[in-house]
Structure 1
């Protein structure tokens, strides 16, 4: 009985979608009155189940003929379907969704509740990233809601070298230091300090300037000290001849920012002969700074 089947067997539609049965799914919706907009098992909707199973034909049917919204979220984790598909690297499903929305304004219109774009969610899947940049014109400098970290910087901070190379091919990599800054003046190189392979690539192949500073006068060497990235610091000092006595706008040398990392401090004192008694513009030495930050070692 079409009037009672959807009440007696509410999971039947989800089961059909999960198995990729388009004809059965269409019949259940059109003839047996199953609702394609209802959440089912574990808060999964029909569109989510179809996307998860990589059933492109069912995804297309649900969006085009049933009016399912690709920006609707899973109740349990509040991630829009569009972003979920990108995060799972489901390129064919993503293409299907984009064909049914205005894909040329994805950065401005399609964001999650925190302002993250589809590109942010696709960061671990280079084929999806290429598609979003090359065919959907997604902005590599798009930021989240707070405007703090552009996507280009985010990729560098995660050490995703292959994705970064893909993005660099689509921009003028020779002006990365001048053009691609975040709101604090940080370059891509500043954000990459935890990943020596990315740092080497940016310096050797993208010609990034190791002496470029952020809005506060910090160089990449200051950032390596702050993050405790000793390997990257040694590379910058020994190979690129960075000066560890370079000061920022507050007159602080690299050792000031290293006070929470004892191995970095030891290296700067014992091998680089950094002066522990140098004073910043406020008259404080690194020793004062370590005490103020509660770094007893």
Structure 2
């Protein structure tokens, strides 16, 4: 984030004016999430700063981020009632507009715990408290996770018709009490259980109980309340054999592990789930270095322990989570098998490229441990293929700069080059980069299909347009069965692509 974005996020109007008017910083740039300066200013809650950008700098108040957020979403979490009113009344932002996750401004108000905003949305704009996002969360879920006791008590006292929401489940079977336990707020937990009669024994769809969520929070007093006063089972397992201790380890709460070890004589070293997922795996995946160090040094957890379903080691999980300090620590241990492979033959390079997008990890493993960037797993994929499939441009750039020949490296199962894989997975920015590196645009896979045929078959009209409109590929190219893209479009029932191709044919005739 640039100095200008930092200034906006903190609402510093004088610094902002200096950067824009004296240093001439570009005010039209957006960040990686597509946020404009108006979004950042709204997030800070600074009314004057938002007004300055809109009225004096001419920035749009209605811009939308890549995730569908408007300035109103950000302002609704800022605790500034006047700013919210201004955005709605003067700039006509919609108080009912959902972002790409289905979250509306009232949900952001619930996250902030702002009762005045709640009243504004309910009374002035008739927003329903029962509205849910794509996860099935309503305002009670959001405020419960934040531990907003005052907010939830206000709803139960002023809107008794919505009390049933206290018992509502989301798409994963979680009730607000689960999320309250995750917040670690004992006062709200006791209120929901004792006064609102919420079920303290409720389980979610994974069979996780309130104890597990309390361990997520790290509040030992709450864990003790649930297990000792409310008599919940301290080590109940979910459907996959995970216990509350895995949650504690993933969140780095070593004091909870110590308490379980002393209170219930839990064998921390060998505590696993159904697939031998140890607490060290959990800590590594969660990026909790201190916890992992204690598990290895104090409890003698095996750094090379493998899962029975995937053969993933602790290092694989650290790479999957993208945690640089954890990876550096593990690879510094003499007993750590850096070259270990999973059950499908993936090295930690494959895992990094598939899951984490961490360039520092990739560089460290290649340059300090000499792992092979051209190694293929059992599915015929090298790290660059996985990076192309997931659009990890920074990793792709590094791999090609490090090994130029990887630009045309085919996978061993289907013969697809990185370019064809990017086409297959609709990764347009990767495609543009590979073309800039002079990749072979005429490459075909083992079945004889080239980029245009693949893009048509997969329904990627944007990719097809880019390739044909820029004259990178021939719209009349034939594959091994002598079919043109037009034939493939008909077979695949891709109407929009068919229409586009026919228009191209008419234009060229």
Q: 1:290 to 1:135 in 2, by over 3 A?
A: farther
Q: 1:228 to 1:97 in 2, by over 3 A?
A: same
Gaps of 5+ in 2: 1-185, 188-198, 203-208, 464-509
State the Cα deviation string for residues 238-268 of structure 1 (Å, max 9, x = none). 2443421111112211111111111111221
User: What does 1:1-297 align with in structure 2 at a 5 Å threshold?
Assistant: 44=210, 52-54=218-220, 70-72=234-236, 80-98=243-261, 100-106=265-271, 110-111=272-273, 116-122=277-283, 123-140=286-303, 142=305, 146-147=309-310, 149-171=312-334, 176-177=338-339, 180-193=340-353, 194-249=357-412, 250-259=414-423, 260-269=426-435, 271-296=436-461, 297=463
Gaps of 5+ in 1: 1-17, 20-38
3-state secondary structure, aligned to 1:103:
coil
3-state secondary structure, aligned to 1:83:
helix
3-state secondary structure, aligned to 2:396:
helix
Q: 1:224 to 1:87 in 2, by over 3 A?
A: closer
Normalising by structure 1, we get a TM-score of 0.68
Q: 1:279 to 1:169 in 2, by over 3 A?
A: same
Q: 1:237 to 1:80 in 2, by over 3 A?
A: same
What RMSD in Å do the two structures reach over aligned CA positions? Answer: 3.7
- Counterparts of 1:244 and 1:105 in 2: how far apart (Å)? 44
Quick check: which has more Rg, 1 or 2?
A: 2
Give the number of equivalent residue pairs: 245
- Counterparts of 2:306 and 2:335 in 1: how far apart (Å)? 19
- Counterparts of 1:262 and 1:85 in 2: how far apart (Å)? 40
Normalising by structure 2, we get a TM-score of 0.42
Q: 1:188 to 1:171 in 2, by over 3 A?
A: farther
Give how far 1:70 is off.
4.3
Structure having the higher helix fraction is 2
Contact 1:114 1:144 in 2 (8 A): yes
- Counterparts of 2:330 and 2:302 in 1: how far apart (Å)? 10
Give how far 1:279 is off.
2.0
Higher relative contact order, chain-length normalized (CA < 8 Å, sep 6+): 1
